[in-house]
Structure 1
Amino acid sequence: MTKYSIAVDIGASSGRLILGYLKNGLLKLEEINRFDNKIVKKGESYCWEADNLFQEIKKGLKKCKELGIRPDSIGIDTWAVDFVLLDENDQPLTEAVSYRDPRTDGMMEEVFQLFSIERLYLETGIQFQKFNTIYQLFSMKRNTPEILDKAKSFLMIPDYFNYLLTGKKANEYTNATSTQLVNAFTKKWDHQLLDVLGINKEMFQEIKTPKTILGTLTEELVSELGFDLQVILPATHDTGSAVIAVPEENETIYISSGTWSLIGVENYFPICVTKALDYNFTNEGGIDYQYRFLKNIMGLWMIQEVKRNFHDEYSFAELVDLASEAKEYRAIVNVNDDRFLKPDHMIDEIQNYCVETEQPIPSTPGEIAKCVFESLAESYQEAVMQIEEIFERRFEKINVIGGGCQNEMLNQLVADVTKKEVNAGPVEATAIGNIVAQLMALDEIQDIKEARTIVKNSFEVKKYLPAAPITN
């Protein structure tokens, strides 16, 4: 009998429920529900509308019933670092504050006064970004201690949705590692670090790994939906799920391309050496306790904001076409500059950066888009060089996965600047990785090796070669 799994994949701008199942050895996908997601200002904070998102999850499950489909399992993945705190009555203490909220400004530097950069990296192996969970919690410790003192349960965003589905609390491993509060070697919450920061370690849940069957739906939900199903933990960190869907794991660097660009390799142990610290690479958890050694790069957030600044007059495809036509223009910005994290106006920031660095100022939509795409490609090349330096080897290929792999201009730019073969696809990498983790838990797929073979055979992957010959 065919097993049906639902991937709930929620990103910074949208979410969807994707139905997945195996047919004749191939993975088939069907979109069940798609919905918008955005950051909204609530009081003084920038927040996610978590309650609305959960209603969309239920809406998608109800659509399954309308379509005559009874899914066997569901798994949820979202972005990393953000969380919900519950009180003693399991009620949220605050809104789900976004990592783009400025409450973490200056917090990283304050943490370094208590726990040195070198020690923090040696123990957690996580990239230093001012919005990491550790700095969000420390901000609460500094500015709203009365709220933090009431917290009895810490749940990351997908953990919270899983709790609403099942009534059971757990922190999933791949997302937990992004907090910068998990020891990279023990794979447990770092209690010594939490004690130094004065954060209550009792509110953290047991860390569960991908493929864990968390439980079934609450009685209330079964009554509302008209059916039950198993809630299975995928890699709840969306990049963790996406990397599972990389069709080829040998000799390849991956780029998970979306709102953020995550570029790296899989490894079987954390690399917490000084050079990795200097280059600000991270060692996030992956499937089967593998490590995702990668760097976080600003990504297509910049072009999303450019599109918004133009009042959505141009589609993403039209911006790519216009960029292709702006052949004579060239300027490079540092896409990882904090000024691009949440600017009031992205186009103004790009133009101001070019003024300050004495580069030609982009004035047309095509020039602005070309600046973004070429800047991203240059940042990828820098990361590739750093990876090869740390591993002391050359990687022959780059796999671009996720929605950004549809940008043919960017794919070709990456091939040209890195002088490597670029394989683009699958587009739905995150949902695919989510589903195959569930199917492994249901014994429909044996292991990650079989999963990747199925992915490779099931979805289109497009090849891009550099304009100049590849040289070894």
Structure 2
Amino acid sequence: MEQNRYFLAIDIGASSGRHILGYIKNQKLQLEEIYRFKNGVYNQNNQLCWDLKSLFNEILNGLKKCKEINKIPSTLAIDTWGVDFVLLDKEDKILGETVSYRDSRTNGIPEEIFKTVSKENIYQRTGIQNLVFNTINQLYSIKKNSNILDKASTFLMIPDYFNFLLTGKKVNEYTNASTTQLLNLESSNWDFELLDKLNIPKNIFQPIVPAGTSLGFLKKEIIEEIGFDLEVITAPSHDTASAVLAVPCSKDNFLYLSSGTWSLLGTESKKYNSTLESLKSNFTNEGGYNKTYRYLKNIMGLWIMQNVKKELNDKYSFPELSQMANDFCGEKYIINVNDNEFLAPTSMIEAIKEYCNKKFNHIPNSIEEIVAIIYNSLALSYANTIKEIEKLTSQKFNTLYIIGGGCQDNYLNYLTAKKSGIEVFAGPIEATAIGNLGSQLLNKKYFSSVKEFRSFVLNSFDIKKYK
């Protein structure tokens, strides 16, 4: 690969976004973060919403930064979170607000849907874990409470919308579309029969394209604004799909834990599992790069710790909170980290205290105890999920790869290895951006296979081992 050819990963999460340039130097993938911006939900008409206009302006600001520092990428790709979307009218204007998955508008909606189509039938069709905020529930809520769907002409997931603003091309990328609970497992296309049953208009959905698809070059007005042109490629646009592409393992048989606000623990497979046993265990079959399946479970993850830290006015760093948990010597009660009480509480600390009081007739009386409860509960949840995966896939796993920002937490990595009894490898930290870049590099034939790219990742970044 030629030196100093730049590729740009735009990785937007629930709290921040970054522009990360990737290039090859000394036979290793090098990363350079050149721009960072804030993200978050805001209250609009009593709904939790995203500010997409601001986010797109930040995408352009980061591209202008590339021009400013004279490091012009030849391609870019965008990844974000899953399930959220925009609806456009005939003039391509957004209809209504872009509501966040953390909003309460879907409360009670799954139960209404199941009166028309059973939970079992939806799972056998889509293979997707039943979560209250899934796109299927959001769309049904809109249909029930407004006439917006009647006016809609186009449905785009968040990264699809940004790609459309850049290129004018309307497509739905496979990995993010799979999070909607509206994609058919057999066809890897929209389940139009299911849409009919729910009376959701079929014409608004766009063609499904795989990760790594070229959408062409920038629109003229974008080129004029940022000062250069480049090619836009579809990343595995669900951020977890990008992260999994960067797992530093060339074997077929491995477990991964994408650790961040959410913990997503699973394995990569060429086959899906939509059995009733899998449904009962609440596993999901999300789309992966190259039409693979990410057979995994969503676990609340470091969202709980992030909220505790925020409530303490960021008085303690994450390493300090980790040390508090490590030092705590009392009994460590276990909470169900996936309980809906922890999804969006007014106070996470109070939610944990109330849970422990109801469940154990015990109220944690110190921050040290609260963080110890969180750490031990997360690690045990990971260990139990690994056992479930082994049972459901009839496989035995010896290694777990923890990727993403949460892989920096040495104590949680240690606890996970201890409670699961398998080897844990931690890193790379920037897995999502690396996988995003990988889809661009694979598109340009710099690697002949995913295995070759993953081996390159292993040789490019420091990976820690825990037993």
With structure 2 as the length reference, what TM-score do the two structures score? Answer: 0.98
Equivalent of residue 277 in structure 1, options 276, 279, 297: 279
Q: Which residue of 2 aligns with 1:262?
A: 264
Q: CA deviation at 1:52?
A: 1.2
Q: Would you say the 8 A contact 1:330–1:360 is kept in 2?
A: no
User: 1:359 and 1:15, CA in 2 relative to 1: closer, same or farther beyond 3 A?
Assistant: farther
Counterpart residue type for residue 211 of structure 1: G
Q: Would you say the 8 A contact 2:330–2:369 is kept in 1?
A: no
Secondary structure at 2:124 match in 1: helix
Q: Which residue of 1 aligns with 2:440?
A: 438
Q: CA deviation at 1:222?
A: 0.3
Q: CA deviation at 1:25?
A: 2.4
Equivalent of residue 450 in structure 2, options 448, 451, 454: 448
Instruction: Map 1:61-460 to 2 at 5 A.
Output: 61-144=63-146, 146-248=147-249, 249-358=251-360, 360-460=362-462
Q: CA deviation at 1:221?
A: 0.7
Counterpart residue type for residue 61 of structure 2: K
Query: Alpha carbon RMSD of aligned pairs, Å?
Result: 1.0
Secondary structure at 2:313 match in 1: coil
Q: Would you say the 8 A contact 1:299–1:376 is kept in 2?
A: yes
| In 1: Cα distance, 2:31 partner to 2:149 partner | 41
Secondary structure at 1:388 match in 2: helix
Residues 141-179 of structure 1: CA deviation (Å, up to 9, x unaligned): 1011x1111110001010111111111111000000000
Q: Would you say the 8 A contact 1:127–1:281 is kept in 2?
A: yes
- Greater mean deviation of Cα atoms: 278-287 or 436-445: 436-445
| In 1: Cα distance, 2:79 partner to 2:280 partner | 30
Q: CA deviation at 1:359?
A: 5.3
Q: Would you say the 8 A contact 2:22–2:437 is kept in 1?
A: yes
| In 1: Cα distance, 2:245 partner to 2:459 partner | 15
Q: Would you say the 8 A contact 1:351–1:362 is kept in 2?
A: yes
Counterpart residue type for residue 335 of structure 1: V
Counterpart residue type for residue 381 of structure 1: A
Residues 370-407 of structure 1: CA deviation (Å, up to 9, x unaligned): 11111111111111110011122320011100000001
Q: Would you say the 8 A contact 1:124–1:182 is kept in 2?
A: yes
| In 2: Cα distance, 1:320 partner to 1:362 partner | 17
| In 1: Cα distance, 2:390 partner to 2:152 partner | 43
Instruction: Map 1:19-58 to 2 at 5 A.
Output: 19-58=21-60
Q: Would you say the 8 A contact 1:7–1:74 is kept in 2?
A: yes
Counterpart residue type for residue 417 of structure 1: K
Q: Which residue of 2 aligns with 1:470?
A: none
Q: CA deviation at 1:443?
A: 1.8
User: 1:359 and 1:75, CA in 2 relative to 1: closer, same or farther beyond 3 A?
Assistant: farther
- Greater mean deviation of Cα atoms: 263-272 or 308-317: 308-317
Residues 297-345 of structure 1: CA deviation (Å, up to 9, x unaligned): 0010001111111122112122112212212241111000011111111
Q: CA deviation at 1:361?
A: 2.5
| In 1: Cα distance, 2:126 partner to 2:242 partner | 21
Q: Would you say the 8 A contact 2:136–2:180 is kept in 1?
A: yes
Counterpart residue type for residue 150 of structure 1: K
| In 2: Cα distance, 1:190 partner to 1:242 partner | 26
| In 2: Cα distance, 1:127 partner to 1:441 partner | 30
Residues 419-467 of structure 1: CA deviation (Å, up to 9, x unaligned): 11100001000000000101111122222011101100001110000xx
Q: Would you say the 8 A contact 1:331–1:360 is kept in 2?
A: no
| In 2: Cα distance, 1:392 partner to 1:209 partner | 29
| In 2: Cα distance, 1:216 partner to 1:204 partner | 23
Q: Which residue of 2 aligns with 1:469?
A: none
Residues 75-108 of structure 1: CA deviation (Å, up to 9, x unaligned): 0000000001100100001221100000000000
Structure 2 gaps of 5+ residues are: none
Q: Would you say the 8 A contact 1:331–1:359 is kept in 2?
A: no
| In 1: Cα distance, 2:40 partner to 2:320 partner | 23
Residues 260-317 of structure 1: CA deviation (Å, up to 9, x unaligned): 0000000101111121111010001101111000000001000111111112211212
Secondary structure at 1:73 match in 2: strand
Paired-residue identity, %: 51
Report the count of equivalent residues. Answer: 464
| In 2: Cα distance, 1:315 partner to 1:337 partner | 25
Instruction: Map 1:2-13 to 2 at 5 A.
Output: 2=3, 3-13=5-15
With structure 1 as the length reference, what TM-score do the two structures score? Answer: 0.97
| In 2: Cα distance, 1:41 partner to 1:13 partner | 15
Counterpart residue type for residue 316 of structure 1: F
Q: Which residue of 2 aligns with 1:468?
A: none
| In 2: Cα distance, 1:192 partner to 1:183 partner | 10
| In 1: Cα distance, 2:217 partner to 2:365 partner | 55
Counterpart residue type for residue 89 of structure 2: D
Q: CA deviation at 1:4?
A: 1.1
| In 1: Cα distance, 2:453 partner to 2:361 partner | 47
Q: Would you say the 8 A contact 2:175–2:237 is kept in 1?
A: yes
Counterpart residue type for residue 397 of structure 1: T
Counterpart residue type for residue 369 of structure 1: V
User: 1:257 and 1:171, CA in 2 relative to 1: closer, same or farther beyond 3 A?
Assistant: same
| In 1: Cα distance, 2:117 partner to 2:256 partner | 32
| In 2: Cα distance, 1:310 partner to 1:284 partner | 35
| In 2: Cα distance, 1:251 partner to 1:90 partner | 44
Q: CA deviation at 1:34?
A: 1.1
